[in-house]
Amino acid sequence: MNHESMLEEYSRALPVLMARGEALRAELADWLAKESDLKVHSVTVRLKSVESLAQKLARPDRSYAGLWDITDLVGLRVITYFEDSVDRVGQLVEARMPVVFEHSVDKRPRHPHAGAFGYRSLHYVCRLGAAGAAPPAACCEIQVRTVLEHAWAEIEHDLGYKAGDALPVAGRRRLSRLAGLLELADQEFVAIRRELDAYASSLPERIAAEGDAVPLDRLSFVALLQCAEVQALDLAIAGALGRPLGEEPFFPDYLLKMLTSSGIQTVGDARRGLERHAITVTSMVRPYFAFAWRTWRLSPEEMSCIFRGYSLFFLAHAEVLKRQSLGIDKVERLASLYRELDYPDDEGAAQRVASQLVDAFGETS
C-alpha cells in the first residue's frame, strides 16, 4: 500500500480511533482508581497527527506493508508518582488488556549513555479493536513512566535530540550527571514514602507507649484524632450543636498550626490538655457559634456535620487564654494567634476578633 493510500485510510479512521482511544483511556483510569493504594498522576490519550504519520512513513529506515502495521497511531500514557508504581500499572495492563508481547518492550534497563534516564519507560502494544469499534488489526501503545521520567522525556523532546552520541562531549557529560540525579531522586521518593508509611503504621503503638515524645505533625495528627480523649469531646461538641459527627477532619494543616502556636507541641500535650480543659472546651462551643453567627453568619444549623478534631480547635483557644489573668493580656495573646493564622496583613481585624472572642467566652476561659 502506498503512503498516500495509508494517509487517506488513516484520515477516514480518525473519528473511530479517537472514540475508541478515549473510551480506553477512561477504562484504564477507572481500573487504576479502583486500586486503593495506587495513585497515578495522569492517564492521557493522543492520536498521531496526519502530518506526523506522513513523516513516519517517509523515513528511509522504516517500511510498512499496511497502515495497521504501525502500532502507535493511538497512544495512552500513564504517569505515576513513584518508581515502584510502574510495575503495578504494568501488572494491571497485562491482566486486563490484549497485550502483543512481541512488540512490547521494557525500556527501563539502565544503559551507559547520557540519555539512559529518559528512555526508562514501560511500553506495551495492545490490540485496540473491538467488533464495530475499530479495525481488528489496529493497536495502541501504552507508555508507563514516572513524573520525573516524563519530565526528562518532554525536555529531551523540546531540546530536539534523541541519540546522545549526536551531542558534544561536554553536553553528554552534563546530561549524564543530571540523569543520575533524577534516577536517584526517583529512588529516594520511594524510600521516603516507605519510611512515612512505616512511621504512620507505628504511631498508634507509639502514642500508647510514649505519647509525650510523639511530636505533632500531619501523620501524628491523624492518629491523634483516633484517641479516646478527642473522640469523646468531638462527640460532646456534636451533641451540643445537635449535629452528627462526620468523618472528615477539621482542616488539619490549619489546626496543626493553631495547636503548635498555642504551645501544644506533642500528642501527649494535646491529650493532657483535653483532659484538663474538657469542661472549658465544651462550654466554649455555644458562645463561639453565637459570635460566629454575628460576625460571619456561620451557624451549625447550616453544617451537615461536625468535623472531627473540632475539640482541638477549642483546646488551642483554652490553652492561649488560660495563661493570662488580665483581660487585656488575653486579647493580645489571642490577637497574636489570629495574626499568625488568619490575618497576617490585617492587625486591626485580628485585634477585633480576639476582643470579641474574649468577651464571648467570658468566664469559660
Return the minimum-mean-pLDDT range out of 71-85, 209-223, 335-349.
Answer: 209-223
pLDDT at 173 over 70: yes
Q: Which residues contact 333 (CB under 8 A, 6 or more apart)?
A: 320, 321, 323, 324
> Using one digit for the tens of pLDDT, what is the confidence trace for 94-148?
999 999 999 999 987 655 444 454 447 899 999 986 645 667 788 999 999 999 9
Q: What is the pTM of this model?
A: 0.72
Is pLDDT at 153 greater than 90 in this prediction?
no
Which homologous superfamily is 3-183 in? Beta Polymerase, domain 2 (3.30.460.10)
Residue type, 214: V
Query: Which of 319-323, 354-358, 359-363 bottoms out in mean pLDDT, i.e. has the lowest?
Result: 359-363
User: For 174-187, what is the mean pLDDT?
Assistant: 83
State percent of the chain over pLDDT 90.
67
Residue 195 has pLDDT above 60, yes or no: yes
Residue 182, pLDDT > 90, answer: no
**Annotated domain spans of the chain:** 3-183, 214-364
Q: Answer yes or no: is pLDDT of 161 > 70.
A: no
Give tens-digit pLDDT for 64-95: 889 999 999 999 999 999 999 999 999 999 99
pLDDT at residue 364 in the model: 57
pLDDT at 358 > cutoff 60: yes
Rounded Cα distance, 254 and 262, in Å? 12
More confident residue, 166 or 290: 290
Worst-scoring range by mean pLDDT, 7-11, 127-131, 134-138, 240-244?
Answer: 127-131
The predicted structure's pLDDT at residue 322: 85
How sure is the predictor about 363, in pLDDT bands with cuts at 50, 70 and 90?
low
Spatial contact of 11 and 125, defined as CB atoms under 8 Å apart: no
Amino acid 176: pLDDT: 75
For residue 191, the model assigns a pLDDT of 95
Query: Which range in 159-168, 227-236, 326-335 is most confidently predicted, on average pLDDT?
Result: 227-236
Q: How far is Cα 293 from Cα 79, in angstroms, rounded to an integer?
A: 46
pLDDT at 99: 95
- pLDDT for 294-340, tens place per residue? 999 889 988 999 999 999 999 999 999 987 678 899 999 999 999 99
Q: Which of 141, 258, 166, 264 is nearest to 211 (CA)?
A: 264
Backbone φ and ψ of 156, nearest 5°: -60, -45
User: Which one-letter amino acid corresponds to residue 65?
Assistant: A
**pLDDT reported for residue 108:** 77
pLDDT confidence of residue 115: 47
The band of 279, judged by pLDDT with boundaries at 50, 70 and 90, is: very high
Average pLDDT over residues 169-192: 83
Average pLDDT, the chain: 88
pLDDT of amino acid 159:
67
How far does the chain reach from its first CA to its final CA, in angstroms? 86
Closest CA to 247 of 301, 307, 303: 307
